[in-house]
Structure 1
Amino acid sequence: MGNPRREADLFSRGVGAEHPQFVSAVARAFSVLRCFEHGVHYLGNQDIARRTGLPKPTVSRFTFTLSALGYLSYSPEREKYCLGTAVLGLGHAFMKNNDVLSIARPLMRELADTVQAAVMLGAADGLRMVLLDICQGDPTFQLKLEPGARVPHGSTALGRADLAARPAEVFDARLAELQRDCEAAAWPRIRAGILQAREDYARYGFCFSLGDWNPEVFAVGVPLICADRSRVLVFNCSGRIATMTRERMLQDIGPRLVALRNTVFERTQGRF
């Protein structure tokens, strides 16, 4: 029998720094690695300190240790760091060992070709969603996204579907985190979109982003919750406003995305 304190129900309650098993030093180290988002190649200790809010001496110790372990690589010429090959090893292992990806990819490809839109699979990564896979389906309108890219939680269909699937306690906590991270002037609009998405998910089984993140794009999102309710992934379908109308998403694309999600759940038996 496992230690009940270690068997944290991340879906229902979430885990924060107050948890007895939470190691703050590990969390800070990973906050350093998260600074290297898509498109960010080299960062110095001062850059990382600014992004994480950590003291520069603390950042210096973390970057030294992460470099020694291969997760960062130091450039003496630039006096800055970039991601190391050890990160690639972790990412490769994740991609190869994830049954959802191998099962979902041909289904995503088929749906993308059928509806002539981009179909994505994503997961929460802090206050953002990270893309695990994307199939472009509209040859005349290609979204500039690829696996590994991060997108906002509050304004995208990916993020809203993730939030909509969470129990009230976790949803409220995430909402508070997003508010702290958001510009005050933008928060009322983002909050309203999140709350509407939660209502739409309860009503239709999916939710929308109608130009909220990209004014040229409408999107619909559907969460995939594993059988033991410890993880949430999200499927999304995004396309240009001219073809991805709300009515089409409501009547056609949303139900197709739900069917795709159900097929993946059945084939994996909800274990992922």
Structure 2
Amino acid sequence: MIHLPGLVSPHDLSTDRQFSMNLARGLEVLRAFTPLDAVLGNRDISDRTGLPRPTISRLTYTLTLLGYLSYDERLQKYRLGSGVLSLGYPLLASMRIRQIARPFMEHLSKDTGCTVNLGMRDRSNIVYVETCRLDAGNAYQPDIGSTRPLLSTAMGRALLMACSTTDCNAILNRLQVMDPGSFAKDKPSWDRDKKAFSRRHFCHSQGDWREEIHAIAAPIRQPHNEPQVALNCTMSAIRLSKNSLEEEAAPRMLEAIRQIEGACGIH
């Protein structure tokens, strides 16, 4: 069993007899699609996954027959099919924290004027599982299922803060191997938040991911075996007054988190 799922490359497990390489390759094909690259041809997918085009052709054919891809005859390219959406819904529906947190998030958003999001880790990213979008000035309005980088965001760093030292080091090591340049750029922000976290109990992104978006975030404790989640408050830089996130929004966010944890039975 992989202790921290998502931290390995399928190619690293090619000698593991229990590991299904065909399944892994099929999932890599599905992950090649993004909001900006919603329609891809076999060559595009091959370039993004590093898999040979004959392999990609077999995988896209199979995934189309199963309903996980749909084929555009006019463009002669593929897009994700409804089967992918059906896979994700049971996870979202079973996450009790979403229903518990939603009213507190709505109140926090109205109280601060921030966009408020709930997220969890997915590989080297965070993925939003709930959102209250109030800040119209935010050009990067999130949606459920949208992703952000782990180390360059306040929420990503908050999720790392909630990990054990062993797990945190494993994730950081993987990030460094995957993209040394981005890791070196983001490491100072991580070090700064790590140093200040015991005092202020939240992480702060001052435009680290996008210079026009600032954010604060903190982890939410959950019952054992529940996925680790974090809450953030984001605001466009043009709407920020000096220290408004740290001095005004942060106490309200931490109080909302305390109430969410209480509703989850954590005291």
TM-score where L is the length of structure 2: 0.84
User: In structure 1, what residue type is equivalent to 2:189?
Assistant: G
Question: Does residue 1:124 correspond to 2:108, yes or no?
Answer: no
Corresponding residue of 1:215:
211
Cα drift, residue 192 of structure 1: 1.3
Cα drift, residue 151 of structure 1: 1.3
> Contact 1:38–1:148 (CA<8 Å) still a contact in 2?
no
Corresponding residue of 1:136:
133
> Contact 1:121–1:233 (CA<8 Å) still a contact in 2?
yes
When residues 143 and 78 of structure 1 are mapped into structure 2, their CA distance, relative to the original with a 3 A threshold, is: closer
Corresponding residue of 1:99:
96
Cα drift, residue 247 of structure 1: 3.7
> Contact 2:207–2:214 (CA<8 Å) still a contact in 1?
yes
Question: Does residue 1:255 correspond to 2:251, yes or no?
Answer: yes
> Contact 2:6–2:122 (CA<8 Å) still a contact in 1?
no
When residues 211 and 15 of structure 1 are mapped into structure 2, their CA distance, relative to the original with a 3 A threshold, is: closer
The CA distance in 1 between the partners of 2:200 and 2:96, in whole Å, is 27
Corresponding residue of 2:73:
76
Cα drift, residue 243 of structure 1: 5.1
When residues 200 and 88 of structure 1 are mapped into structure 2, their CA distance, relative to the original with a 3 A threshold, is: same
The CA distance in 2 between the partners of 1:188 and 1:15, in whole Å, is 19
The CA distance in 2 between the partners of 1:180 and 1:9, in whole Å, is 18
SS at match of 1:65: helix
Corresponding residue of 2:179:
182
**Structure 1 residues 15-68: Cα deviation after superposition (integer angstroms, max 9, x where no partner):** 646688654443332222111122322111221121122232332232222222
When residues 15 and 117 of structure 1 are mapped into structure 2, their CA distance, relative to the original with a 3 A threshold, is: closer
1:197 to 169, 193, 200: 193
When residues 15 and 190 of structure 1 are mapped into structure 2, their CA distance, relative to the original with a 3 A threshold, is: closer
**Structure 1 residues 224-263: Cα deviation after superposition (integer angstroms, max 9, x where no partner):** 2432255211211011335546744333322322222232
When residues 14 and 269 of structure 1 are mapped into structure 2, their CA distance, relative to the original with a 3 A threshold, is: farther
The CA distance in 2 between the partners of 1:244 and 1:259, in whole Å, is 21
Question: Root-mean-square deviation (CA), in Å?
Answer: 2.7
Cα drift, residue 207 of structure 1: 0.6
1:238 to 234, 241, 246: 234
Return 76-85 or 14-23, whichever deviates more: 14-23
The CA distance in 1 between the partners of 2:7 and 2:174, in whole Å, is 13
The CA distance in 2 between the partners of 1:111 and 1:15, in whole Å, is 33
When residues 30 and 201 of structure 1 are mapped into structure 2, their CA distance, relative to the original with a 3 A threshold, is: farther
> Contact 2:7–2:174 (CA<8 Å) still a contact in 1?
no
The CA distance in 2 between the partners of 1:64 and 1:148, in whole Å, is 25
Percent identical among aligned pairs is 31
> Contact 1:225–1:231 (CA<8 Å) still a contact in 2?
no
> Contact 1:130–1:148 (CA<8 Å) still a contact in 2?
yes
Corresponding residue of 1:146:
143
Question: Does residue 1:159 correspond to 2:163, yes or no?
Answer: no
TM-score where L is the length of structure 1: 0.83
The CA distance in 2 between the partners of 1:168 and 1:245, in whole Å, is 35
The CA distance in 2 between the partners of 1:20 and 1:247, in whole Å, is 54
> Contact 2:7–2:124 (CA<8 Å) still a contact in 1?
no
User: In structure 2, what residue type is equivalent to 1:231?
Assistant: P
The CA distance in 2 between the partners of 1:174 and 1:246, in whole Å, is 33
When residues 55 and 259 of structure 1 are mapped into structure 2, their CA distance, relative to the original with a 3 A threshold, is: farther
Consecutive unaligned residues of structure 1, counting only runs of 5 or more, are none
User: In structure 1, what residue type is equivalent to 2:211?
Assistant: P
